[in-house]
Structure formats: C-alpha cells, structure tokens
Amino acid sequence: MDIENTKAQMRKGILEYCILSVLSRNSCYASDIIKELKEAEVIVVEGTLYPLLTRQKNAGLLSYRWEESPQGPPRKYYELTDTGRSYLSELDNSWQELVGSVNRIRTR
Amino acid sequence: MDKTININIGGSLFSIDEDAFGMLRDWLQSLNNRFRNVQGGLETIEDIEMRVAEIFHSQKGLAGVITKDNVESMISIIGKPEDFEQQEPEDSGKSMYTRNDYRRRLYRNPQDTIISGVCGGLGAYLNTDPVLFRILFAVAFFVFGSGFLIYIILWIALPVAHTESQMRELFGSNFYAGSHGKTGPGGSQGHGNVSSGIGNAFNEIFGAIGKVIYIIARIMLILMGIVFVITGFTGLMTFILVFVFKFPNILVLEGTGLNMNFLPDFMSYIVSAGTVPWIIGLSSIVIVLPLLALIYWGIKMIIWFRARDGIFSLAAIVVWVASLAILSIVLFNEGTSFANTARTSSEAIVPRSSDTLYIVSDHKLNDVIYNKEVSFPDDEYEIFINDNLRELYFRPYLSVKTSGNNSTRIEVRKHSAAATESIAYQRLRSLQFNYGVKRDTVRLDEYFRLPEGRKWSADFVGVKLYIPEGTVVKLDKNSDFILHSNYHYRFHGRFGNEQWDNDNKIWIMSDDELVPAGI
C-alpha cells in the first residue's frame, strides 16, 4: 500500500467541499482559494484546483466575474450561486455525519 | 547569449529564453493533452495559462526575460499535469466535447500583423504562410482594386482574436506550434490522434459515402461562392463606374439607343431639389449592401471560415431594410406629384395644291445649347439638358400615317402630369412647341421645351401626320432628324438610301407608311 496514494484519495473526497466552504465566506479569485487550501494542506499543487473550479462553475454551483488586476492579466472572481449554497449545506450535513461515523468507529 | 523568443500566454506577451521556451512548451503540451478531451478542459487550460502569466508577471514584470529558473519555479507552484489530482469522472462525454472545443473560427491574428492581421489570420486558420495571402491581396489590388475591397470587407467583418480560446479557435490543432512563438523552433506536432479503433464495416462505408457527399457539397459551395463573388463584384464595379465616375458610355448599349449616363443628373429635374441626395444616398445603400453581402458570403463559401459576424449581418440587414423603407416613402411622395395627367390635342388641315408636301423645322436643336443627353430605349424619348440655364428640351414624337380621306392633316397631342389636374393643365399650357401649316408645307419645331427652371412632369408632345397615299414627302435636314429618331428602329435599313433634292430628302407615302423614293 502506498501511503501517499491513500492520503491523496482522502483529500480528493473533501476537496470540492473545501472549495465551496472557502467561497461561502466571500468571493475570491483562484490564488486566494489556493492560498487557503495550501495553508490547510489540502492540496499540493495549484493545478489541481483549476479543473475543479471549471467543473463546479459548469455545474451551476459557482459563478464568476472578471476583475482587473493591479499587475498581470485580469482575474476571475468566483462566488457561490444559490444552487452552490444549498449544495454546500447538504455537504455540511454529510460532513458532520461522516465525522460522527468515523469518531464512533475510532472510539469504540 | 541565448536567443529569446516572444510568446503570448494568457493574453500577455513575454520574452523567454530558448531553452526555457522548450521546457514551457513541453509543459503546456502535456497540459493540453491532459485536459483537451475533458469536459470544460479548454477553459481550465485558459485559467491555468492566466495563472502562468500572473506568476511570470510577479517574477519579472513585463520587461524581463523569462529564464529556465522562472519556468521551473512556475511548474513547481502549479504542478505537473500528471500530479494534478484527478477529480473528474472518467470518460465523461469525451468525443462530444473534443468536437465542440475544436470548433474553428477565422479571426484577425494580432500576433502576425502587417496592416490589420487579416492575412496573418487567414494563414493561421488555413495553416499556410500568411505571405501567400499578402501576395494574393497585393496582386488582386491591381485587378480593379478587388484585393483592396475584399481586404476591407474582411477587416471590418473579422474580429481580432483577443483571448487564448479565440487563438485556439483560429489556430485549431496547430495552436501550440503556431501561436506560441512563431520565431520558435516550431513545436512538436505530437498530439496522438486518437483513432477509435472500432473499425466497423458499416461505419466505414457510411463514412466513405459521407465523405464523397461532403466533398461534392463543398465543391458546389465553392462554385456558388465564386459566382456570388463575381456577381457582387461586377455589380459593384458597374455601380461605382456609373454613379461615381460617370464612366462614359457604359450604359450606352449599342443598338438600343439607351443613354442613361446622365440619369442621376436628370433626376434633379424630376424630384424636388432637396431629395436628390437622399435618393442617391439611399439607393446606393439599397444597391451596394446586398452586393457587399454577396461578396462576403461568397468568400465565406469559398474558404469556409467561421466568424462572429452575426451582429454585423443583423446590423447590415436592419440598415438595408430601413433604407429601402425610407427610399420607398420618399419616392412615393415624389410620385404623388405625377398623380394627375392633363391632355390636349389640336388639329390643322394642310392646304394642298400639288402632290408634294414639305416638312420643315423652324426651331432647330442645332441652335440650342445643351450639355447632357438622356434617352430611353422604347418610346424614343430623348431629353437634352442645359445645366446652366436649367432648361430641358425634348424631341417630339412623330408618326406618319396614310390619310383615309385624301386630306392632309397634322394632329398635335400634349400631356403633362402634376399633383392636381389644374396644375397639370397649367404645365401643359406652358409647354413650348410650335407648329404651323402653309400651302403644301408643315412647319414643326424640332424640339419642345419647358419654361426655364420648371421641373420635368412627364411632359409629352406627339405629332401625327396624316398624308394621302402617293404624296411625295420632302423633309429638310431637321425634320428628317425627327423622323430619324422616331423611326430609327422601324425603318431600319431605309435610312441612308434616300434620294436628295437640294437639301431635302425625298420620301413617298405608300398605302401604309413612308418609303424612300426610288426603292
């Protein structure tokens, strides 16, 4: 068994949930999200985030607007849509359930 | 020092070392391979490229040269595509999205520009050297300026490719080879073309039939496109030659007597003064827009490009319909001033003492100064314009008939049109045409005229001569002109053979028409 692979599998499951959670506080552009996720050690490389954002946006969970950046190209600022919000609150519930389940198993 | 290459990433231009470029290109290539078959993959690639640009900006600003170190640290931040954690469900709509995402469109290419990037765009779109198109346009420039015209149309119709995805639509599968570093070492063309491998016999047969049908349709379309372009072009050239340059004689069709060169000038005598520029402007739009559209769609059929021209076309259609509508209203308004017609006719008997009848003209066109001539083919209506005095002269309509009762008669009919009948009668009375009879002689003016400055109002003077059979008819030079202009077609071949008596031409009245003496 490859421990890194298992860790990656675990992260993978919660990444979408984490992105939505970050965006639930305020709208940000990709680098802000990356910073938070990196600090929390949920992702290793930035490239992982971009396909996810695209997919969530296409699924109607996120919307974005362009904003000029003080330097470099303009930035996409993402924010949660109403669908995204209700989607997130469902994930919140299932996360609570999951944590509860895991804890029950571990402390038995 | 290493060679540097200019590249465009995420909409920004950077200079990059050659070896760093190779590294970046390989990375972008693997990024492309990783995402191009994935739903929304192109957008992801675009987002990542924006991020790359941002990282380069923060490292270098706009001025510095990107080195291998910069590329390495960028890759360590974003990661290698194979390190991205796979999130998307596998095989989701793989083929469906590749087709849509690789839709090609023609844009102007901002990276390869001499004037506006039209040729650069064509080259990128058709994967050909843009120099070819530059030469073609330059050569076509000398063919009645057609190259210039087509160039301008494409310039207006084609947008510039601003974003990465537009560049991708422009370059298609040559995107990496073409748009990133045209001075660079070319770029390996190795996106393994995924063949389905499921070689179903039916599919192959239908595929082959489909291909043949496609090629035939394509050829038809190209032929149609060529016809469109030629038609549009000829029309446009004619329009420009006639209305802009008043090219001499282009509308004088041999043998028909049609001379409408000065029709636009004559127009100022028909409609009220202020509306002439409107009519000319609006009819130009009404005529020219469809011709331009024909040329554009013809080109489009021939080289089969896609462009975001929907709004452009819509605007053109709106302008055209509006112009046509306004033109109709203007013309309808003008038309009402021809709504009523007044007619008169008068008659005189010519006293006869011999079997010879002289027809002579008092007022001769030769004595009139005119600088323009308009003629219409069917009713032999000829108009002579003196622009300085703003006077109009017309040839009267002459017909010669065999008299039924052995008397010689002249009948003169006039008509004029106007908005109301009473105005029409006023105009009619002001038509200046003189005729008179003496023993064995009919005197006619060679022309009739409108009073100075008066507009044209469908004015007409017709002269009918009833002459007994067997009469010898002698015409002087000017009355001969009247006959000539009226009988040119009907008497084809008879003119030129007449006998002369001093200055008179001799004709003889037969049982139904005039024939030259001696035939």
Q: Mind listing the pLDDT tens digit for each residue in B232-289? A: 988 888 888 776 666 555 455 444 444 556 666 777 787 777 788 888 889 889 989 9
The pLDDT assigned to B62 comes to 60
Nearest alpha-carbon partner for B161 in B215, B219, B217, B120 = B120
Distance between CA A102 and CA A100 in Å, rounded? 6
pLDDT class for A92, splitting at 50, 70, 90? very high
| Chain A contacts to B (CB-CB under 8 A) | 8, 11-12, 15-16, 30-31, 43-48, 50-55, 57-58, 69, 71-76
CA angle B428, B433, B435 (to 5 degrees): 130
Distance between CA B164 and CA B172 in Å, rounded? 11
Least confident of A104-108, B191-195, B431-435: B191-195
The pLDDT assigned to B198 comes to 45
- Taking the Cβ of residue B47 and every Cβ of chain A, the question of whether any pair is shorter than 8 Å is answered with yes
The pLDDT assigned to B137 comes to 85
The pLDDT assigned to B152 comes to 83
So what's the ipTM on this one? 0.83
Q: Which residues lie closer than 8 Å to B123 by C-beta, 6 or more apart?
A: B109, B112, B129, B130, B131, B132, B133
Distance between CA B515 and CA B499 in Å, rounded? 11
**Closest residue of A to B41, CA-based?**
A51
Q: Which residues of chain B lie closer than 8 angstroms to A8, CB-CB?
A: 85
Percent of chain B with pLDDT over 70: 80
Q: Mind listing the pLDDT tens digit for each residue in B150-161? A: 888 888 878 888
Instruction: Name the residue facing B83 among A15, A45, A73 (closest C-beta).
Output: A45
The pLDDT assigned to B211 comes to 72
- How far is CA B54 from each of CA B4, B62, B176, rounded to the nearest angstrom? 20, 10, 20
Query: Model-level pTM greater than 0.80?
Result: no
What is the SS3 assignment for B391? strand
How many beta carbons lie within 10 A of that of residue B198, not counting itself? 6
pLDDT class for B455, splitting at 50, 70, 90? confident
Q: Which residues of chain B lie closer than 8 angstroms to A46, CB-CB?
A: 51, 77-79
Instruction: Name the residue facing A48 among B35, B39, B85 (closest C-beta).
Output: B85
A32 to chain B nearest CA, in Å?
12
Nearest alpha-carbon partner for B357 in B445, B494, B476, B447 = B476
- Taking the Cβ of residue B97 and every Cβ of chain A, the question of whether any pair is shorter than 8 Å is answered with no
What is the SS3 assignment for B54? helix
Distance between CA B479 and CA B446 in Å, rounded? 6
The pLDDT assigned to B512 comes to 79
User: Bigger pLDDT: B444 or B380?
Assistant: B444
User: What sections of B102-240 are H helices per DSSP?
Assistant: 118-125, 130-141, 146-157, 164-171, 175-178, 201-239
Instruction: Name the residue facing A73 among B50, B61, B78 (closest C-beta).
Output: B50
Q: Mind listing the pLDDT tens digit for each residue in B280-333? A: 889 889 989 999 999 998 888 888 777 777 888 899 999 999 999 999 998 888
Q: Does residue B393 carry a pLDDT above 80?
A: yes
Of these ranges, B86-95, B168-177, B188-197, B228-237, the one predicted with the greatest mean pLDDT is: B228-237
Decide if A58 and B87 are in contact by the 8 Å CB cutoff. no
Distance between CA B418 and CA B342 in Å, rounded? 8
The pLDDT assigned to B196 comes to 40
Token code pair at residue B250: 């282009």
The pLDDT assigned to B141 comes to 81
Q: Mind listing the pLDDT tens digit for each residue in B6-65? A: 888 877 788 888 888 888 888 888 888 888 777 778 888 888 888 888 888 888 766 678
Decide if B47 and A45 are in contact by the 8 Å CB cutoff. no
Distance between CA B322 and CA B315 in Å, rounded? 10
Q: Mind listing the pLDDT tens digit for each residue in B105-124? A: 888 888 888 888 888 888 88
A106 to chain B nearest CA, in Å?
28
End-to-end CA distance of chain A: 25
The pLDDT assigned to B502 comes to 73
B60 to chain A nearest CA, in Å?
11
Decide if B79 and A69 are in contact by the 8 Å CB cutoff. no
Decide if B87 and A47 are in contact by the 8 Å CB cutoff. no
Decide if B40 and A43 are in contact by the 8 Å CB cutoff. no
Q: Which residues of chain B lie closer than 8 angstroms to A72, CB-CB?
A: 12, 53-54, 57-58
The pLDDT assigned to B197 comes to 42
pLDDT class for B131, splitting at 50, 70, 90? confident
Q: Mind listing the pLDDT tens digit for each residue in A34-70? A: 888 888 888 778 888 888 888 888 888 999 888 887 7
Q: Is B413 exposed, middle or buried (0-12, 13-18, 19+ CB in 10 A)?
A: middle
Distance between CA B23 and CA B7 in Å, rounded? 13
**What's the average model confidence in pLDDT over B82-103?**
50
Token code pair at residue B366: 């030769």
User: Bigger pLDDT: B147 or B321?
Assistant: B321
Instruction: Name the residue facing A46 among B43, B51, B57 (closest C-beta).
Output: B51
Percent of chain A with pLDDT over 70: 99
Q: Which residues of chain B lie closer than 8 angstroms to A55, CB-CB?
A: 39-40, 87-88
Decide if B61 and A47 are in contact by the 8 Å CB cutoff. no
Decide if B78 and A58 are in contact by the 8 Å CB cutoff. no
B66 to chain A nearest CA, in Å?
15
User: Bigger pLDDT: B484 or B455?
Assistant: B455
The pLDDT assigned to B179 comes to 43
The pLDDT assigned to B176 comes to 53
Q: Which residues of chain A lie closer than 8 angstroms to B86, CB-CB?
A: 12
pLDDT class for B142, splitting at 50, 70, 90? confident
pLDDT class for B519, splitting at 50, 70, 90? low
Q: Which residues of chain B lie closer than 8 angstroms to A43, CB-CB?
A: 85
* Phi (first) and psi of residue A29, to 5 degrees: -100, 170
Q: Does residue B100 carry a pLDDT above 80?
A: no
Q: Which residues lie closer than 8 Å to B7 by C-beta, 6 or more apart?
A: B13, B14, B16, B21, B24, B180, B181, B184
Decide if A43 and B85 are in contact by the 8 Å CB cutoff. yes
The pLDDT assigned to B188 comes to 35
A50 to chain B nearest CA, in Å?
6
Token code pair at residue B28: 């972008």
A28 to chain B nearest CA, in Å?
14
pLDDT class for B88, splitting at 50, 70, 90? very low
Arithmetic mean of pLDDT over chain B = 78
Q: Which residues of chain A lie closer than 8 angstroms to B38, CB-CB?
A: 51
Q: Which residues pair with B4 in a beta bridge?
A: B17
Q: Write out B61-126 in H/E/C secondary structure.
A: CCCCEECHHHHHHHHHHHCCHHHCCCCCCCCCCHHHHHHHHCCCCCCECCCCCCCCCHHHHHHHHC
Distance between CA B452 and CA B111 in Å, rounded? 64
Preferred mutation among A5, A14, A17, A54 to probe B, highest tally of B CBs within 10 A: A54
Length of chain A: 108
The full set of domains in chain A, from first to last, is 3-106 (1.10.10.10)
Distance between CA B245 and CA B58 in Å, rounded? 60
Q: Mind listing the pLDDT tens digit for each residue in B177-208? A: 444 433 333 333 333 333 344 445 656 666 66
Token code pair at residue B36: 């191009």
pLDDT class for A95, splitting at 50, 70, 90? very high
CB–CB of B180/B164 below 8 Å?
A: no
The pLDDT assigned to B95 comes to 37
Least confident of A11-20, B197-206, B402-411, B465-474: B197-206
Of these ranges, B1-5, B359-363, B374-378, the one predicted with the greatest mean pLDDT is: B359-363
The pLDDT assigned to B324 comes to 93
Instruction: Name the residue facing A48 among B43, B58, B84 (closest C-beta).
Output: B84
The pLDDT assigned to B103 comes to 67
The pLDDT assigned to B98 comes to 40
How many beta carbons lie within 10 A of that of residue B177, not counting itself? 19
Q: Taking the alpha carbons of B22, B25, B27, B30 in that order, is the dihedral positive or negative?
A: negative
